[in-house]
Structure 1
Amino acid sequence: MRRLFQFGSKKHGAKVPYTRPTSTLRALTHRQAPVKSSTSSSVAAPAVSLPAQATGAVLQGVQVVCEGTDPVVDIVAVHGLNGHCEKTWTAGNGIDSVNWLRDLLPHDLPNARILSWGYDANTHSGSRVSCQYLFDHARTLVSDLCLERQITETSKRPIIFVAHSLGGIIVKSALIHSDAARRGALEEHRAVKLSTYGILFMGTPHQGGSGVALGKLMVNVASVFMAADDRLLQHLERDSEWLQQQLGQYGPISGDFVTKFAFEEYETPTVLGKSTMVVPRASAVVPGAADGEPIAIHADHIHMVKFGSKTDPGYKTVSGHLRLMATRAGDAISQRWDTEGKLDAVRSNEPIESFTVQSSVLEVSRVEYLVGREENITEICEALQYDGSRKTAVVHGLGGMGKTQLALAYAQRHRDDYSAVFWVNSKDVDTLKQGYAAAARRIYREHPSLVHLKTIAEGSDLGEATEAVKRWLSSAGNDRWLVIYDNYDTPKLPGHNEPGTFDIRPFLPEADQGAVLITTRSSQLQLGRPVAVKKLQEIEQSLEILSQTSRRDGLSLDADARKLAEELDGLPLALATAGAYLHLVPDSFAEYLQSYKKSWAQLQQDTPQLLPYEDRTLYTTWNISLDHVKQQSELAAKLLQLWAYFDNQDVWLQLLREGRGNAPEWFCELTQDRLVFNKAVRVLCDHALVEADATLGEGGKESRGYGMHSCVHAWTKYVVNEGCDSTLARLALRCVGLHVPGNSRPEYWVIQRRLLGHANRCQEVISVGSEERDGEGSLTGAFHNLGVLYADQGKLDKAEEMYQRALQGREKALGRDHTSTLDTVNNLGILYADQGKLDKAEEMFERALQGYEKALGRDHTSTLGTVNNLGILYADQGKLDKAEEMYQRALQGKEKALGRDHTSTLETVNNLGALYADQGKLDKAEEMFERALQGYEKALGRDHTSTLGTVNNLGILYRRQGKLDEAEEMYQRALQGREKVLGRDYPSTLETVNNLGILYADQGKLDKAEEMFERALQGYEKVLGRDHTSMLSIVNNLGILYKDQGKLDEAEEMYQRALQGREKVLGRDHTSTL
């Protein structure tokens, strides 16, 4: 008879403080009926109908679909990249086809001229090095429309665009181009933007989503409709980032149009025979867009613009919105042209030349490239959009995030929008005045007729130069200038009076005109619209900076380069620093990363200066912030130093409070109450060294956490601390170790997840032999609890290391028979059982049991917990009678001491259910599982790990009873809960994955069964190793499955591996081996 091995969750007994909370043994096996083989047949993928392509010559340019009757508006339809100016809008074929632009819309909008613009998507994408084909098409669209409207003398007639798919990108690009055509040979192109009243985007991707950048999403959309080797698709792939940057210029003008965002509701068949949501709602709709409204179309991406009749719900929606727009467009566009005429008149009369200073930002290096900052550029554009009054944007963020580069990139792109651009370094008062003096000299060079500036420009009185430039900027009519006040990192804030801080407001021009752009590290500066600069989100963006600064290509395929980019975590200065160093030396990316981790400070000192960065190196940039922090709050500076011994992410008040016993006086003051702690953290936040993470703090009463960038964390390790401080390291260990929760807390796993990174950092820092004889609550208790944490998180090797350190310390300090020592001995027994080392587990349990009985008595709960654990072990060894004896003793004792519904009692109830299932007593097993489940749900909730363990066990039982639907329901509930709580690769999760595989095999779904077994096998190999008993059970199950699939060689390989492993671990005579 063949055996498929199923895993049930068994619960270890509860323990005294500093002991491991409830855990699971995962080797419960049940005899299974043979898996029957089944035949499977392949089903051919359905044929996919893609948009019809034009035959023969492609219709290009403006096609008049309907002239209209006394038209007052132009409806302009633009198809997607692989569409057609007629067939994109046509439903059906042959004589029954309906082109709704021609056959339906004229009846509902008789006073509209309807135009369809066609183009060959590949016209501009031949062999060009720079892929600007979309914008070439956009300019052609503007040119064609202008020509048609000029010929028909309708240049000021309102326009409403209807754009499908990536055709919407071309429309947006066209409007960007039209808006920029202000003066010069193509000034007539501006008429298109001025006349555009509304846009109906039909399935156009406006933004990325679910971790996919916009450029990549555009490639994905195009790839649905064309072969992977299509040259247009290749161009789009190569330059998608460039396209995304260009489209960032659309944001500032988007509010000028009434916009409808139509999104598809059905998936679209693709060329591969599958279906996909081509442009999801999250990408097709821009949330919060001015004058924007989402509308749903009940069709897929292709058919959302094909309407066969006036009763089609999609047509009703689209035509209704078009009628409303057409009704309102006339007055709005007429007023817009009137306003433009008045502005032209003002421009023609104003002496603008007297305020023009040649655009040049010579004081700092030119920004040759900017990566991943298009959203910030758009924010600045929106903040500084001209309306005649003063506009101010405050760019803030951590030192090294590229705030200066962002400001300069904005100035370079928009220099033609301003009559003059000045850059003023504002790191202190004297430097700011020197910047104004430089501005005075530039103004005088451009306008020597301003004789009063001559003496000032040639003199040395910085105060006089400052006032003169301020007066010039405040002159009547001089309202198109931009001043960038860079590096204003020492603002004088309300309630603060630290040395070196100053108020910049007296240095700003007094008139309510012009544009001011301030860069600062302070998030508290409230002088204008804030623009937060965060780390780069996409790994490809980081690799691009590394590639550009190191002059090395092919980084996207270099695994070591990706590891380095991940370590530097999207900080532009860190990436540029690494690239500059690697440009000068032949070191590999792996060698640089090794040096970064081992010799951080020396590496930063040896790195060449970076001209685009004011502070030059990582080593110096945050030292300035540290000096300011020390001036404001000594507690904040101390917290920053302590942070080096925690993980960089998620430090919160309750975590620190655990270490208050015997802690330094400053630490007790810092953690005495929330107000003191928040005040210190706010100082760090204000300097952008730390930021709050609102996504954390999910652990019930635990507060949200604060985090810092990994590069800042490296600086705290190697610069702020200048070596390991053993006092702070032990303080951090106590904080983390003593905060590990027991599993009686309903959401204990949430806190454990938050602690894991800190535990890893503590393990890294604490040197061997650091435990001391300082009693309960000392480092031995912290080590013990870290063992609990690691074991519960499936990190068994680390758990063993922590338990061994705790055991050695407790035996030395307290003796072999102290109950705290025995707690660690008991937990080591659980760990060895988890590792499949059953003989060593039995040795630990026997020692703990004897010690507890001697010290506490036979009926103490700690004694009974170890009795329960011995029952689990005996069951795993196949000694079922001895297991039942242990379980019955534990159950009777716990019911007497704790009550029937205590969670510790329920653990043994659950375990008895598993044992009865092993013995074939299925009714008694079901009774036990039902009792345990009801108790757990009442005491701990539906999603607690103990509850899910019993749910998994009920799935096993239902399957053995032939209730396959009920079994699958239980398994799916257990799997979803465990993946959510514990993660995909946690041993308990993998138990349920294996069990689902067995169920699918029973149902004849052999492919799904194989998928489950393979996932479980890979997970167990990663977490537990190749020779763990649970691992060997999966190997055996795969052998059975391969045999049923006719893969006899693979089956034999699995059987041999399982047999050899079991003989080695369990012995030749163990029931599992036999």
Structure 2
Amino acid sequence: MSHQMIKWDFFIAHAGSDKEIAKQFYDGLQNHSQVFLDSKSLILGDDWDIALSKAQKQSLITVVLISSKTGAAYYQREEIAAAIAYARKNPNGHRIIPIYLDDECRESNEIPYGLRLKHSLIISENCTIQTAISKLIEVLKFLKNVDKKISDQDLSSSSVAKNELLKVFDVPFRENPLFTGRDEELQKLRERLISGKKAALTQAIRGLGGIGKTQLAVKYAYLYQYEYEHVFWVQLSNKFSKSDEGSIAEETEPKLQIVNSYVELCQKLRVPFDDSQPQTAIYAFQQWMEQNPNWLLIFDNADDPKLLKSFLPPQPQGHIILTSRAHTFDSLGILKPIEVEKLPLNEATDFLIERIARELEDSEKDFAEQLAKELDGLPLALEQAGAYIHESSLTFKRYLENYQRSKLDLLAKQKPVLGEYPKSVQTTWSMNFEAIRQQSEATADLLRFSAFLAPDAIPHELIAEGASFLGDSIHKFIRQFEDPMLAVVELLQPLANYSLINLAPGEEEFSIHRLVQEVMKAEVRSENEEQKWIVRVVNAMNAIYPHPDFSNWSTCRRFTLQCLVATGYIEQLKIETEYSGELLCKYGRFLCDIGEYLEANSLFLQALEICHSVLEEDHPLFGTSLNDLASTYMIQGRFTDAKPLLLQAIKIRRSVFGENHTSYAQSIHDLAYLYFCQKRCVDAEELYLQAIDIYRSVLGENHHYFAASLHNLARVYISQKRYAEAEQFFLQAMEIRRTALGERHPDFALSLNDLAVYYKSQGRFSDAEELYLQAKDIYQTVLGITHPHFAVTINNLANLFMDQGRYDEAAQNYLQTINILKLTFGPEHPDTKIVIKNYEQLKEKQSGCDKQAQ
């Protein structure tokens, strides 16, 4: 007799990595029973997929070996689902016995609910594999000795056969053998559907076209097919008249598609309705869904959720899933749809590697990861690229190099093969783009504009406040609203409805997939048009970028991604305008404030070149760019380079603003600092006093600019040993900063630090240490532990500890300071060298102390 005709006592379901343990169970059971184990029971030529399914159906007991690998074991999960289904339909004819190979895997959320309910065994010191085998044999003997159960099994088997004849499994797609990831989405979908809440019986899967919504629904249908009596599928996508990519879609009224599907389902289920009136199938099928439990209905591509409301039963007894590009589903009572995002980089890379079905060197795997990153985790694009590489036998490196040059042109060379995607990336979105153009030219222009931005964290302010730079259609639309930010929401809504963008709830920003950007860029007709949109990015970014005061740092950080793109365009395309120069200056000052001096220096150099090229020499922005570059030179200790820039800036600002202006005061304040660093204290004092008079006259004595000049003048007085005046000015400046800026501001920390330096010089070590620690805490919280200001304070603490003989604490602080300064300025910077020298002197003292102790 063929082994496929055998009635099996045991069917062993296991993960591939647990095959050795499975063999131990097989060896222990085979002398007492008929056991099916794939590696032992299949013979050459068997269709293993069919053979496994038949063997399990013909078995009395499915033994499920559960380990930490079970969640990722695709075929074992299929076998578990089948076992659960057989046991539910025929509880006396099929039994499931889970055996946990360790106690920890029992707590895994990946174990199907239907399996966790079963009485099980756990392999441990008290229950060895041999013990488990003995218990399995006892269960088998018990089942075979109960004639009633055997009789019930026969009756149930015939009932199962009868039910299977009527079962509808209407999924039109094959299961994708390379379906990757989405475990969290599948679990969330399943948990919501079986939660028992009436409102949860209908769930929506939403996301961008090509992101894998349909594939997720297909996977769910196959994964849980044995949990349902019937699985229905209603397809709402357009059908193409030709097979080529340039074909025109045949528009089919969505309502008619649903009616036709309901007619077919009524016929399959033998539900009566009036054949001459197809509309009667709607009510008939609705009634059936309210009267029959345990079914699944999937609406694929339901991009107009409101349309479905009249087709759904008020009291469904089964589960309903819809896939859609829509953004909201309130009309169906769905407030939180299942969001399908791009694949994480590791899963996207794994898909590409599996897709080409060949062994790879580690270097090729790196190129696969780079390609996955370029394609931004879009499953449709990954399938197109993978199919092309597989068919042409290209290396990932070669494909990546060509993709980076030709982008969509290369991607379009291969249509998707696996996954039942009907169209390529570009064709998938083309109809959406056209619909948006017809709906709103302003929204279409916003999509074009978004194509040239960083794809993530696009702030609404960029459109609301930069509208005057974004073209007539957007500008006119924004002006119609009293609140420009509300206008942006209205502009974005059509894009969200097609899932071409993702809105960030409560964040007033949105994101766009990189490949949507590439498709939009491909539609730009000329280099001049592309340049137009890029210049608009720069101008709009400059319009919204604030003056980088500390109070605006959070906004500056929020705009960083877009600012990097804009400044990148300025450098790459040599965009030389007043707006580009101004943006470089503002962004550079922010980078300088947060300690990124080298990057700031580069931006200031660019800004100066642009201002010199496009502005008159007495233009205020030209003076600003000179002053900004000089400030970074001084930080780097390049005082000789900084001086002529400051003198030129002073000349311009005196000419443009006069000598009673804050801009002029800023320049002479900075020149005073340069003189102080060069030990020219008399010259520094004179300039600081001028700056103080200007700030007092224009801003008043409670402004933090006034406090800054007062504070720096105190430092001059310390060097001149005018301690009483110095302490007075330090304290006055600190109180102004406390009131104007608050006690968590970096400038207040600077006051604490420098007052501590003074106290240390006076031998007031305890007072100094207290202030240093306060300053250190502020810098650590506000600037971070890699900022040079933080390094200054911990260096000063090290000096204090060294004077007190606390050498271990001093050494720790010196080393931390050296690491920060090397990272920021490099090992050759004067400040770095000074700290290294102090540390070496400390080590000598420590060595001397150690010798004395001996």
TM-score, normalized by length of structure 2?
Answer: 0.71
Q: 1:771 aligns with which of 576, 579, 582?
A: 576
Further displaced range: 819-828 or 506-515: 506-515
Encode CA deviations 1:802-852: one digit per residue, 9 max, x unaligned.
444544444455432344422222222112223332211011112222343
Further displaced range: 672-681 or 878-887: 878-887
Aligned residue for 2:512?
708
Aligned residue for 2:53?
none
Encode CA deviations 1:331-379: one digit per residue, 9 max, x unaligned.
xxxxxxxxxxxxxxxx999999568655656621313355443332233
Question: For 1:671, what is the secondary structure of its paired residue?
Answer: helix
- Does the CA-based 8 Å contact 1:874-1:880 persist in structure 2? yes
Distance in 2, matches of 1:385 and 1:880, equals 78
**Residues 732, 386 of structure 1: CA spacing in aligned structure 2 closer, same or farther, 3 A cutoff?**
closer
Q: 1:399 aligns with which of 209, 216, 237?
A: 209
Aligned residue for 2:143?
none
- Does the CA-based 8 Å contact 1:577-1:607 persist in structure 2? yes
Distance in 2, matches of 1:968 and 1:594, equals 58
- Does the CA-based 8 Å contact 1:396-1:533 persist in structure 2? yes
Question: For 2:545, what is the secondary structure of its paired residue?
Answer: coil
Question: For 1:747, what is the secondary structure of its paired residue?
Answer: helix
Distance in 2, matches of 1:388 and 1:903, equals 59
**Residues 504, 468 of structure 1: CA spacing in aligned structure 2 closer, same or farther, 3 A cutoff?**
closer
Question: For 2:302, what is the secondary structure of its paired residue?
Answer: coil
> Does the alignment pair 1:736 with 2:541?
yes
Aligned residue for 2:355?
549
- Does the CA-based 8 Å contact 2:685-2:716 persist in structure 1? yes
Which aligned pairs between 1:749-788 and structure 2 lie closer than 5 A?
Answer: 749-766=553-570, 768-772=573-577, 778-788=579-589
**Residues 735, 1044 of structure 1: CA spacing in aligned structure 2 closer, same or farther, 3 A cutoff?**
farther
TM-score, normalized by length of structure 1?
Answer: 0.58
- Does the CA-based 8 Å contact 1:356-1:420 persist in structure 2? no
Aligned residue for 1:844?
645
**Residues 743, 952 of structure 1: CA spacing in aligned structure 2 closer, same or farther, 3 A cutoff?**
farther
- Does the CA-based 8 Å contact 2:626-2:646 persist in structure 1? yes
> Does the alignment pair 1:409 with 2:215?
no
- What's the offset of the Cα at 1:884? 3.0
RMSD of aligned residue pairs (Cα, Å): 4.9
Question: For 2:634, what is the secondary structure of its paired residue?
Answer: helix
**Residues 876, 538 of structure 1: CA spacing in aligned structure 2 closer, same or farther, 3 A cutoff?**
farther
Aligned residue for 1:246?
110
Distance in 2, matches of 1:694 and 1:995, equals 46
- What's the offset of the Cα at 1:189? 7.2
> Does the alignment pair 1:484 with 2:298?
yes
Q: 2:462 aligns with which of 655, 663, 670?
A: 655
Q: 1:726 aligns with which of 508, 531, 535?
A: 531
Question: For 2:670, what is the secondary structure of its paired residue?
Answer: helix
Aligned residue for 2:18?
128
> Does the alignment pair 1:367 with 2:176?
yes
- Does the CA-based 8 Å contact 1:564-1:593 persist in structure 2? yes
- Does the CA-based 8 Å contact 2:290-2:316 persist in structure 1? no
- What's the offset of the Cα at 1:736? 1.5
Further displaced range: 389-398 or 426-435: 426-435
Distance in 2, matches of 1:565 and 1:682, equals 29
Q: 2:502 aligns with which of 669, 688, 691?
A: 691
Question: For 1:246, what is the secondary structure of its paired residue?
Answer: coil
Aligned residue for 2:486?
675
Aligned residue for 1:515?
319
Q: Where does the alignment leave 5 or more consecutive residues of structure 1 unmatched?
A: 1-123, 137-165, 193-230, 257-346, 494-502, 697-703, 1048-1074
**Residues 127, 525 of structure 1: CA spacing in aligned structure 2 closer, same or farther, 3 A cutoff?**
closer
- Does the CA-based 8 Å contact 2:380-2:421 persist in structure 1? no
- Does the CA-based 8 Å contact 2:801-2:810 persist in structure 1? yes
**Residues 1045, 758 of structure 1: CA spacing in aligned structure 2 closer, same or farther, 3 A cutoff?**
farther
Distance in 2, matches of 1:726 and 1:811, equals 22
Question: For 1:474, what is the secondary structure of its paired residue?
Answer: helix
Question: For 2:188, what is the secondary structure of its paired residue?
Answer: helix
**Residues 881, 764 of structure 1: CA spacing in aligned structure 2 closer, same or farther, 3 A cutoff?**
same
Q: How many aligned residue pairs are there?
A: 722
**Residues 661, 507 of structure 1: CA spacing in aligned structure 2 closer, same or farther, 3 A cutoff?**
closer
**Matched residue type, 1:910:** H
- What's the offset of the Cα at 1:750? 1.1
**Residues 991, 443 of structure 1: CA spacing in aligned structure 2 closer, same or farther, 3 A cutoff?**
farther
Which aligned pairs between 1:966-1045 and structure 2 lie closer than 5 A?
Answer: 970-971=771-772, 973-983=774-784, 985-992=786-793, 994-995=795-796, 1016-1037=817-838, 1039-1040=840-841
- Does the CA-based 8 Å contact 1:535-1:572 persist in structure 2? no
- What's the offset of the Cα at 1:880? 3.5
Q: Where does the alignment leave 5 or more consecutive residues of structure 2 unmatched?
A: 1-13, 27-67, 72-76, 119-155, 239-250, 849-854
**Residues 657, 1043 of structure 1: CA spacing in aligned structure 2 closer, same or farther, 3 A cutoff?**
farther
Question: For 2:559, what is the secondary structure of its paired residue?
Answer: helix
Q: 1:829 aligns with which of 627, 630, 650?
A: 630
Which aligned pairs between 1:552-567 and structure 2 lie closer than 5 A?
Answer: 565=372
> Does the alignment pair 1:899 with 2:705?
no
**Residues 586, 989 of structure 1: CA spacing in aligned structure 2 closer, same or farther, 3 A cutoff?**
farther
- Does the CA-based 8 Å contact 1:125-1:232 persist in structure 2? no
Higher relative contact order (CA 8 A, sep 6+): 1
Distance in 2, matches of 1:479 and 1:789, equals 62
Encode CA deviations 1:398-423: one digit per residue, 9 max, x unaligned.
22332112212211121111112123
Encode CA deviations 1:730-773: one digit per residue, 9 max, x unaligned.
222122123332255x521112112222221112224544325x
**Matched residue type, 1:483:** L
Question: For 1:367, what is the secondary structure of its paired residue?
Answer: coil
**Matched residue type, 1:515:** H
Q: 1:424 aligns with which of 234, 238, 251?
A: 234
- What's the offset of the Cα at 1:522? 0.5
Encode CA deviations 1:681-726: one digit per residue, 9 max, x unaligned.
1222222222333574xxxxxxx32222344344444456775622
Q: 1:863 aligns with which of 664, 674, 685?
A: 664
Distance in 1, matches of 2:458 and 2:623, equals 32
Q: 1:601 aligns with which of 408, 415, 421?
A: 408
Encode CA deviations 1:560-610: one digit per residue, 9 max, x unaligned.
555555555554445555544554567666665555554322232234514
**Residues 469, 996 of structure 1: CA spacing in aligned structure 2 closer, same or farther, 3 A cutoff?**
farther
Which aligned pairs between 1:72-471 and structure 2 lie closer than 5 A?
Answer: 128=18, 181-184=87-90, 246-247=110-111, 249-250=112-113, 353=162, 357-358=166-167, 360=169, 363-368=172-177, 370-385=179-194, 391-428=201-238, 430=252, 464=278, 467=281, 471=285
Aligned residue for 2:452?
645
**Matched residue type, 2:110:** Q
**Residues 886, 694 of structure 1: CA spacing in aligned structure 2 closer, same or farther, 3 A cutoff?**
farther
Encode CA deviations 1:215-242: one digit per residue, 9 max, x unaligned.
xxxxxxxxxxxxxxxx989xx9xxx9x9
Query: Alignment identity in percent?
Result: 25
- What's the offset of the Cα at 1:902? 1.2
- Does the CA-based 8 Å contact 1:737-1:781 persist in structure 2? yes
Distance in 2, matches of 1:1014 and 1:613, equals 60
Question: For 2:88, what is the secondary structure of its paired residue?
Answer: coil
Higher helix share: 2
Distance in 2, matches of 1:913 and 1:472, equals 84
- What's the offset of the Cα at 1:614? 2.4
- Does the CA-based 8 Å contact 1:861-1:897 persist in structure 2? yes
Distance in 1, matches of 2:305 and 2:692, equals 68
Q: 2:419 aligns with which of 612, 617, 620?
A: 612
Question: For 1:516, what is the secondary structure of its paired residue?
Answer: strand
Encode CA deviations 1:878-936: one digit per residue, 9 max, x unaligned.
33343333323322332233322211111112223444455566665444333223212
Further displaced range: 934-943 or 989-998: 989-998
**Residues 819, 472 of structure 1: CA spacing in aligned structure 2 closer, same or farther, 3 A cutoff?**
closer
Encode CA deviations 1:306-327: one digit per residue, 9 max, x unaligned.
xxxxxxxxxxxxxxxxxxxxxx
